[in-house]
Structure formats: C-alpha cells, structure tokens
Structure 1
Amino acid sequence: MSRNGHGLGDAYLYDALPGTGILVGHFVMPRGTSFAAHRHPVHQLLCATRGVLRVRTEHGVWLLPPARALWIPAQVPHITESQGDAVMRGAFVGPESCPGIDWSEPTVVAVTPLLRALVDHLVRTDLAPGARARAEAVLLDELRPLPVTSVSVPLPEDPRARAVAEALGRDPADGRPLSEWGRQAGASARTLARLFTAETGLGFGQWRERLRMQCAMPLLATGLPLEAVAHRVGYASASSFAAAFHRLVGVTPRAYFPAGGPGTDSGRV
C-alpha cells in the first residue's frame, strides 16, 4: 500500500512498522475528503501539516489545526475529514513501544516545533536502526497532553428540529429565539425545546453555543482576528466569545490556535 493513500490495512501496519515501532504516513486530503469509520491495531498520532482536520469518534469530535495533534488509541473507531484542503501526517505507534502511554481515550497534544520536526524526520526510510530508535524515543517523550474537551454537536432526528439545526449550521450568528424558529419550522417553541433536549441531550441554548464553537474553529485556524470570528458566529464581542470558548473547550482560543503556529496564515488570533 502507498503511504500517500489511506489504504493502510491491519496486516500492512503490522508488517511495515519498523522494529522500534513507529511508521509515519503522509496523506494529501483535498477539500471534502473523508476517510470512513475505521480503526487501527496500533496507536495513531494524527496531525495536519496544512489546513484543518476533523476527527470524529464515539468519545467526541475534534478539530485539529497544525499546532494540535490527536492521539487515537489502538482499536478506537474514528472518521477523519478535511476542513478545506489539508495535508495529514499519521504516526502509527506499536503499543509495545510506548508502555508509558496509557491513554484509553483520544487525547489532544501540542505539536511543538520539536515534535513536528521528529514526525517529519521519521518519514524517511533511510534512517539507520539506531538513529530511528533514538528519534522515536524522543518523539514519545515530547507528547504533551492538553486539557482540551471535544465539542460534540449531535443533530436532532425530528425533521422540524433538524431544519432549525441545519439552518443554524449555515448561519451560526442567527440569534432568533425558538419562538421565531417555531413559526418557520411548524412547531411551537416548547415542542422544539423538548425535541432538542430529548434528541441531543442538550438544551437549545447549550446546543447552539456548541455549534458556534465548532463553526468558529476553522475560522480561527485561518488566522482571522478574534473579533471577526466572534461576530461571524454570533457573539457581540471578542471577550464574550473567548469566555465561551474557554468554558466549553477548556483552553482559550489563543492557547488552542497559537499565533504564528505552523500552517497559520497570520499571527492575529
């Protein structure tokens, strides 16, 4: 199988992993590319060298700019999608080579300059065994978990509530209350509120706030100023948006999208 495609079957991964346990794959993902639900027999450290990736698992949904990577434990089913044009690097790690890493759920880590350089270095196939082993050991030591919470936005099934959810997905800044949405969707505000709670597990206000955070992340990754992002997703000010982002995601927008990080277009966020 090619390292430039995602046809990395289980047998291939086991056979191709070096004796020291890490294989780096490189995947070009044009806009709209999606790798359907799959799992690996080994751990995966997934990151973007360009663009933004969206990873979905039963544990949540993560958007990854180039400054962030996601550790996906072996056998965890996941879907990987590109947000616009993206380039993905996947470091596949044999469980026996990292006994000190026991993360049972997907974990976000910081892509430091050293970590990115090590991933790029391990793409090479001409490294001597000793040099590869040393680089792999440093890579594993460089993994630094971040206190980031995934922002999952489940969609309601009922067609009336679904119509409201899809409209807000197209325009997250739309601040109309449920009473106004009800006239458009053909249901009372009380009915819509009940449907959102029953079918998503979230009150409508909570659901809309999570949606706004998801919609904001690709904008933040491009380097758009915080004030502009806030207005595009429905917040009156950068400070109110930043407070909501920190409350839901666990870190500030600046911490999640470091200014001037790899792959960003500017340092304004």
Structure 2
Amino acid sequence: MSPSGQAAGPQALPLLVPTSGAVLVGSFELRLGTRFDWHLHPVHQLAWAATGVLAVTTPDGTWVLPTNRALWLPAGIGHSTAAIGSAVMRSLYLDPAVCPPGWATRWSRPTVVAASPLLRELIPYLGQEALAPQARARAEAVVFDLLEPLPVTTLAVPSPRDPRTRAIAVALAADPADPRTLRDWGRQVGASERTLARLFRAETGLPFGRWRTQLRIQAALPLLAHGSAVSAVARRIGYESVSAFVAAFRAAVGLPPGQYFGRVTE
C-alpha cells in the first residue's frame, strides 16, 4: 500500500516519504496499461505526471493530464487513475487538518491546476526524507500558494445501456471518425433514427451529436498529449478542418488545444 492507502500495482515504486510534516509524496512508475482501480483517500491528493500522461476518472468525468497540468482531488472523492502510454505519477497527499482556512469550501470538487515550474520542483523536494522540519514547513506553505485553478472542464462520455445504442458506442470508440448518422446506424442495429435519438438522450443525458463530439474530443486528448499535430488529430477523429476541431475542443474543454497542452507560464 502507498502512504495514502492507495492500492499500488506491481510497477509502483515508492519515493522517499517524509516522516513528519503535513504533506506526503508518493511516486509510481506506470507502464502501458497500468491502472489504479476505483478508490478514495482520507486525505487530499494532487495527482501529477512527472513524465508521460495520466487519465484520472471521477464521477464527474475524465481528465487527461500532461506534465503541465495536475488534478486536485478532495478527500473522499472516488477516482481511478491510468497511464496513457508509460508515465511516472508523483502525487502529493495533504492532511485536510492543516489546509488554510476556508480551503475545504473553495476546493471541494476535483479541480485542474497549473503544474508550474516551481510546483514541479517542489514535489520531489518535499519527497526528501532528510528534509529539515523547518524547511519542510516552509515548502509545504508554498505548495498551497501555487495551486492555481485553470478554466478546464471535464469530459463526460456516458455509456448507453441499450444493446443497440451500446453497439454504436463501441463502434465509434474504435473509430471516432466514422461519419454515419443515426439513420445509417439504425439500419445496422435494427432501430429507427427517432428511437436511437431518444435512447441516447435518455441514457447519456446528451443528444447524439453532442455525445459523439465528446467522444471525439476524448479520443483526441491522448494523441495531442503525445505530440501529434493538431491537423493530423483532427483528421483522425473525423473533422474535415482544423478550425472546426479547435472550436469543438475549446467548447468541450474550455481551452484550445495549443493552450491546454502548451507550456505553463512561469
């Protein structure tokens, strides 16, 4: 088990953890396919990928985190974490009792924050076992000052339950660029366009067109995170123009692709 109580997979490698102080540091080497299944912590967590890309899922949806983004997870929030490709996850685990006044109210939901250069240096610094108590206390105080929320929304792609809509969802997950309409799909799965539209809205809370857009943007995130060109990603997930893809990405995530995956300003 890790210091946070998180079940660690076979590739989990513990970093040196402080024996005192309010912040623990956990480090996990995640190979392709490594996943921490659904769990929660009695402490707050700041999940960050020192290398690679993480995907963190909560009841609200999924966040894809390149190295310039981290995710604040309040204590008690269920979540799962997976590596997209290979990654090194370094997380801070923070005692709720020592958070600044009002912190629990202002940070009560999962929140994406900027992993600034200073924050990225502080995380391994706090992982030093021999760090003096006074130095540790000063560094821990700075961590709270560096947590800067970003205007990024999560991507929720609910799975439909009906066998007919589920078959469509599986096919589109395998090929997000598939251009077929609900009328086209209806001929394949044996249902009318109207029936499928009603089922998608009832089962996912989204009209089919918006659901498919969310699915496409979710498929684009790991490709962009690994450096694929925006134009290539747009074509791969079914957009005929880069501008249409960028507009859809901004509408879904809150930022254009270049800003989401760009360098964090110091």
TM over 0.5, shorter chain: yes
**Offset from partner CA, 1:2-39 (integer Å, 9 cap, x none):** 56x9437xxxxxxx775431001001111111211111
Match of 1:7 in 2: 7
Structure 1 residues 170 and 34 mapped into 2: Cα distance closer, same or farther (>3 Å)? same
Aligned partner of 1:215 in structure 2 is: 219
Tell me, yes or no, if structure 1 residue 29 matches structure 2 residue 33: no
Deviation at 1:134, TM superposition (A): 1.2
Name which of 122, 134, 137 aligns with 2:126.
122
Normalised to the residue count of structure 2, the TM-score between the two structures is 0.90
Q: Quick one: distance in 2 between partners of 1:17 and 1:78?
A: 25
Tell me how far 1:218 sits from its aligned partner: 0.1
Paired residue for 1:13? none
Runs of 4 or more consecutive aligned structure 1 residues displaced over 4 Å after TM superposition:
16-19
**Secondary structure, aligned partner of 1:245:** helix
User: Where does residue 259 of structure 2 map in the other structure?
Assistant: 255
| Alignment of 1:109 onto 2:152 | no
- Pair 19,259 (structure 1): closer, same or farther in 2 beyond 3 Å: closer
| Larger CA deviation: 108-117 vs 180-189 | 180-189
Q: Which amino acid aligns with 2:159?
A: L
Structure 1, residues 40-75: CA drift from partner, whole Å, max 9, x if none?
111000011122211111122111111110000011
Residue deviations 1:72-121 (CA, integer Å, cap 9, x gap)? 00111111112221211110001122224331100000111111010121
Aligned to 2:73: 72
Q: How many residues align?
A: 254
Distance 1:157 1:7 in 2: 30
- Corresponding residue for residue 54 of structure 1: 55
Using the size of structure 1 for normalisation, the TM-score is 0.89
Distance in 2 (CA, whole Å) between partners of 1:19 and 1:32 is 34
Would you say the 8 A contact 2:18–2:130 is kept in 1? Answer: no
Mapping of 1:191-230 within 5 angstroms? 191-230=195-234
Unaligned ranges ≥5, structure 2: 9-16
State the shift of 1:252 in Å: 1.2
Compute the RMSD of aligned alpha carbons: 2.0
Q: Quick one: distance in 2 between partners of 1:260 and 1:72?
A: 21
Distance 1:85 1:185 in 2: 37
Cα displacement string for residues 148-175 of structure 1 (whole angstroms, at most 9, x for unaligned residues): 1101000101111001011100111111
Instruction: Provide, for residues 188-235 of structure 1, a one-character-per-residue CA deviation record: whole Å limited to 9, x for no partner.
Output: 211111111110000000000000110000011011111111111111
Alpha-carbon distance in structure 2 between the residues aligned to 1:136 and 1:63: 26
Q: Give the SS at the match of 1:62.
A: strand
Q: Is the 8 A contact 2:28 2:90 kept in 1?
A: yes
1:59 touches 1:105 (CA, 8 Å); kept in 2?
no
8 Å CA contact 2:28–2:89 kept in 1: the answer is yes
One-letter amino acid of the structure 2 residue matched with residue 54 of structure 1: A
Distance 2:160 2:116 in 1: 38
Q: Tell me the secondary structure at the aligned position of residue 35 of structure 1.
A: strand
Inter-partner Cα distance in structure 1 for 2:141 and 2:2: 25
- Structure 1 residues 2 and 194: alpha-carbon distance in aligned structure 2, compared to 1, 3 A threshold: closer
Alignment of 1:33-182 (within 5 A): 33-100=34-101, 101=103, 102-182=106-186
